[in-house]
Amino acid sequence: MDFDRSSTRRGILKGASGALALAAAARTALPGGAFAQGAGPEVKGAKLGFIALTDAGPLFVAKEKGFFAKYGMPDVEVLKQASWGTTRDNLVLGSEGNGIDGAHILTPMPYLISSGRVTQNNVPVPMYIMARLNLNGQCISVSKEYIDAKIGVDTKPFKALLDAKKASGKSIKAAMTFPGGTHDLWIRYWLAAGGIDPDKDIETIVVPPAQMVANMKVGTMDCFCVCEPWNEQLIHQGIGYTALTTGELWKDHPEKSFAMRSAWVDKYPNAAKALLMAVMEAQQWCEKVENKEELAAIVAKRQWINVPVADVIDRMKGKFDYGTGRVVENSPVAMKFWADNASYPYQSHDLWFITEDIRWGKYDANFDGKSLIAKVNREDLWKDAAKALGVAALPTSTSRGKETFFDGKVFDPADPSAYLSSLDIKKVA
């Protein structure tokens, strides 16, 4: 379905409604025609943040392979962030406040930031999602304490082990990277599907991605959800194993996004288009099989993730050794950067994330997710950039339609309330 994208330009930023109205105003003031192909960028650079994860690869490639420069943005800085919380704080500051203009980001975060749900004093900072960066590619890992059980997609056996551990007086913890973010939602869905209440039966904790392996090594958590290379590194260090890759929960699920501060895009529309085209061309490069080894070498570099290439290469090429004796070659749910419309920011996907965040209490039960999506999701800019790149087949709908999960649950973007009602464990009444 096509969500309502209408908006009018009103006043100045005053509180939550003012902030979101200002973000939406650009739709009228800056239609696709404002990004005329002949117009050059207003500035030559921008500051973009990233977390040390392989799905930030398109940003690394756009910088290293010269795609930013190709589109008139040679001074783009791609800057490592310590955590998703740091990413949020630097986006709130903006580059004018010594922060950043945009980022490789967990898809729910631009919504949580735009609505002021995760910002200091709940002040909204309008954001735009410009593109999706990838599909699939995250994993849930389990401590070697549970190696004999070979926990997989089904968490019912895991529940029995956790209940026994809890009864003995020991704490049990599941780690994710940001409350309400993708990793939080994947591990919650996985646990809840097996009858484990992530708010009552286990303690969820926040750990930055690059610190996951070290924390599991000292016994801080029983399981965690994060992107590569940290799951494969865990196996290489003999500390734990992969229970599943998240595409097994939901095949070809959306993951990270490329997002920018709305104010920056509105001020520099041609530069924003240049950035988007560079990132999209980098995604196309990353998708090619013949580039996978070079991509692995790039992301492993010190200035990017800073890990051995051996911790990256296999899963980048689609080979998953789960650390339990199970090995899958050419996984059908390996990370995708461009194939199957991976880059297109479907509004229906964003609605699922908002619906899950309603499920777990990040938004009120009656929160109007579709209205927020109409302000944050800029699939119109994506299409404009795609046309300029000569992309042959453009998506014709803002929705990918009904989505089916491993446990048989179905999300219909036309009726998210029915999906919520079908879920057994949730905070929302």
Phi and psi at 349, nearest 5°, equal: -65, -45
- Does 356 or 27 have the greater pLDDT score? 356
By CB atoms closer than 10 A (0-12, 13-18, 19+), residue 276 is buried
| Ramachandran sector of residue 293 (left: φ over 0; alpha: ψ -120 to 50; beta: rest) | alpha
Token representation of residue 126: 């309008």
The predicted structure's pLDDT at residue 5: 37
Inform me whether the pLDDT recorded for 30 exceeds 70.
no
Token look-up 């036309």 returns 414
The predicted structure's pLDDT at residue 428: 87
Eight-class DSSP state of 135 = B
Q: What is the pTM of this model?
A: 0.91
Query: Shortest CA distance to 40 belongs to which of 295, 269, 245?
Result: 269
Contact 113, 19 (CB under 8 A): no
Model confidence pLDDT, tens digit, residues 285-344: 999 999 999 999 999 999 999 999 999 999 999 999 999 999 999 999 999 999 999 999
- In degrees to the nearest 10, what's the CA dihedral of 255, 416, 376, 66? 20
Inform me whether the pLDDT recorded for 32 exceeds 70.
no
Percent pLDDT > 90 in the chain is 90
Average pLDDT of 43-52?
98
Percent pLDDT > 70 in the chain is 91
- Does 366 or 37 have the greater pLDDT score? 366
Residue 12 banded pLDDT, cuts 50, 70, 90 = very low
Average pLDDT of 388-412?
97
Is the N-terminal amide bond of 229 cis, ω within 30° of 0?
yes
Residue 39 banded pLDDT, cuts 50, 70, 90 = confident
What is residue 342's three-state secondary structure? coil
Contact 376, 128 (CB under 8 A): yes
| Ramachandran sector of residue 340 (left: φ over 0; alpha: ψ -120 to 50; beta: rest) | left
By CB atoms closer than 10 A (0-12, 13-18, 19+), residue 40 is exposed
As a whole number of angstroms, the distance between CA 105 and CA 373 comes to: 16
Inform me whether the pLDDT recorded for 92 exceeds 60.
yes
The predicted structure's pLDDT at residue 219: 94
- Does 16 or 264 have the greater pLDDT score? 264
- Cα separation values, 294 from 173, 290, 307, 354, Å: 37, 8, 15, 36
Residue 14 banded pLDDT, cuts 50, 70, 90 = very low
Inform me whether the pLDDT recorded for 354 exceeds 50.
yes
By CB atoms closer than 10 A (0-12, 13-18, 19+), residue 180 is buried
Residue 38 banded pLDDT, cuts 50, 70, 90 = low
Residue 383 banded pLDDT, cuts 50, 70, 90 = very high
| Average of per-residue pLDDT values in the chain | 92
Inform me whether the pLDDT recorded for 34 exceeds 90.
no
The predicted structure's pLDDT at residue 21: 46
Model confidence pLDDT, tens digit, residues 130-148: 999 999 999 999 999 999 9
**Weakest-pLDDT range from 33-47, 190-204, 241-255:** 33-47
As a whole number of angstroms, the distance between CA 301 and CA 283 comes to: 18
The predicted structure's pLDDT at residue 15: 42
HSE, side-chain direction, 13 A CA sphere, residue 39: 14
Tell me the Cα Rg of the chain.
Answer: 21
Buried/exposed 324-350: b ≥16 CB within 10 Å, e otherwise: beeeeeebebbbbbbeebbbbbbbbbb
Token look-up 């913890």 returns 173
Model confidence pLDDT, tens digit, residues 52-91: 999 999 999 999 999 999 999 999 999 999 999 999 999 9
HSE, side-chain direction, 13 A CA sphere, residue 33: 2
